[in-house]
Copies of this chain bind each other. A is one copy, B any other.
Amino acid sequence: MDRIAAFNECLRHKGLKNTSQRMIILETFLGSKSHYSTEDLYLKLRKDHPKIGYATIHRTLKLFAECGIAIELNFGDGQTRFEPLRANHHHDHLVCTSCGKVIEFTEPQIEDLQAQVAAAHGFVIKRHRHELYGLCSNCAANS
């Protein structure tokens, strides 16, 4: 089941409706670079769909998160960002504090160790956040 079908399934399950705005937002969200803030997506959509309001986009992104289509991220600038979730493709982030570049990484050993830490404290982990902040190779070279 792809993510569009999964979203429709989630809407049905919640008794919500599938509007043209939601489809437009979903397709744009899935089809482009990751790490959108509401404002990013609003500005991008405004070109082709100037009638879609900021509030609708924000509500829709929150809905994506509820449906498991997206996760919320916060990289420490004031904005909440949303990232499309790929099934079976969890990853974490390297964030360059100089140029803003974001690289995704996966490290199964870290995931295993996390699980051990949680178990040692009796925690049942639902999700996690793991971000490394520093300078990317370019910025490190130029400083």
Residue from the list B96, B97, B125, B135 in contact with A132, Cβ < 8 A: B125
Chain B positions within 8 Å of A137 at CB level: 121-123
Residues of B within 8 Å of A96, CB to CB, are 123
Q: A76-B72, A131-B129, A132-B118 are in contact. Are A123 and B140 (CB under 8 A)?
A: yes
Copies of this chain per assembly: 2
Chain A interface helix/strand/loop/mixed: strand
| Nearest Cβ on chain B to A122's Cβ, whole angstroms | 3
With a cutoff of 8 Å between Cβ atoms, the chain B residues found around residue A114 in the complex are 107, 110, 132
8 pairs, CB–CB < 8 Å, chain A vs chain B = A74-B74, A94-B118, A96-B123, A103-B123, A117-B132, A125-B133, A128-B132, A130-B130
